[in-house]
Structure 1
């Protein structure tokens, strides 16, 4: 009997947690273990797994609910599968029922929980309806996990490649950190679902998997990613992805899968409210462990802390942080104080200052000579990273400044003009985002003040109103 393909969930610490609001609308809250899988799942299988989890999510903590149901037609439409060939859907369900997931989680006291389960405990189709179930322990992990990633269905339906969707799934939870940190190349092969023996040479993996996946994520999703490589003896051994918001992309709230989800929600198959994936992303601090948080106290950004802690061994980072603390204290009140603590800390870890402290002068001299050569490269790399960070920050600030200016301009308008502009924005809501418009009408009927309306309504209404006001200013 053939064995099921094996998947693995990365070891998580209870200190590395991000507990977030409950999922609703087209936004899927996904346990990091359900995202970080080892195994070859097709694009359709990945999409179906997300839709099944979204459908079941609200009932996962209820011990009286063992099975979940979804119409095969709804499953196909929300997954973006435009065919009536239910045999392909059954093949995808069979693959998920044969995929093994393991998890290894440490709590705050250091107690370990190891577990194994198939992704689906069972799946049965009859009369156009799919009944499916998760194993009891996996249900609890999926509903109340240590870390969540969020997969937005309006983004998912844009992807045409399983590698691209897998890359998005493994990057999107780091959107508020700005970096995935360094992860070994072998681990990335597993996370992206590359089969053993495929693309053994990096140049082919890069050409056929990584580059196309990055291009697809940047073109179709709400984030942009940039890949960096770590080499040892000219061989690529690890990758990290820098992440920033894709402010140029306006998500299509009315795509076919989103419309199908909205129709399903109308009959109780999906939650009603579509949240903003940017607002509900895990906070950066929730994804950092104790060592990374300690790095932040030395003035490093959260992305820099994650990068350094995954590039170098924990004992090397720790001993150099101790070394930096001693140096700060030793130089305090002298003519050579440690002024740029963050830069000094990065250099200390990269050059391993702690390893050379207390060594004979001749050895120190030789190491310092090598360090100076490395320092030039380090400075250049740091400058490039700082330039990229400043550019990203400037881009965010320009967008925020534009929104503030337009809001102030709106507030300065006479009440009659404000009402007219709001009416035009509401008309656009009705034409372009009817579900959001329906929520808006519900809020009005309930007598809710604009500032107290649900986030999806308020953010969309104000965005449309700013666009209209900007158009008026451009014409004037």
Structure 2
């Protein structure tokens, strides 16, 4: 389970020219976005310098619990390989620019101390130190957003939340695609897939955990959606004060993925819906899939999403026989079950965290061996591909990390956790 320390009070003033950046080469990932914002924050604190530096522990404390320098190296490679392009208009002045995210990065180990150093392209450094127009971005919210598209959308919308119109620029949907995905290569030629896989999950996540509410505005040419805008409103203070972070249930998220829902969409559905409804809908989907007296389901994922949208599980629970059974169970068991569930959830979370810390203590070579062993055992195609493609860097994914730690805990202490309980 990801346990990112609070970045409360940390905010970077990002020059507007570096918001909604369009990568022309390379790819901007979730890890790259988080690290880039943190480096800009530290740079802004230090002022104009040729080179900036921080201890690796200070940097990683705000990104992830991992102390793995290979993850950092991969992020630095992505930053170095990525060229970004922007256009900035200001009254009678228009500026086009292109540069890398960073111009240099180093990881220096001396004895037991490891330091990272970086240099910024001059144009980014100059604008960062004296931004004429900037967007204030809260790093605490960045640490809560779990996809690169969500961070990109949050940054863009934060830029316009103080605009009198509260509406972003209006552009063709293909203009938005690389700016949200961080991928210069077009991932799809059809809007419906971009909307399904990227746009709507990102909007749901931003609305769930950030300080703004985003509304999609679609502009049609005939029956075809061509251009997009986003309408933004800042959440009322009372909403933010009342909002409590949703507890993370790795088993529930993985059960949704096992139905055939993509990791990205599963995270968005998890963020946007009540956990009780999600659990009931998963159970309803499995029950419907296993039913022998009806037409077999063509797609569990499609049924799950339709049932979730229509709240079929809520309607099903209102049937007289089921309702009577539920009421009877509540009278006798609810207090005991709730107490046990809370205790089990706390113990499971602690066991997952202990498993992660145990894994983190291993050397990079042993860590990779364990990841590849998990890859062979995993039934989730997305996990296998991510581990194969990204190596240790795949552990920035909260869903993958949780699934791995649950597996590693079972390997270490057994399915029942008996040995773990003895240690505790």
State TM-score, norm by structure 2.
0.50
* Higher Rg of the two aligned structures: 1
State TM-score, norm by structure 1.
0.44
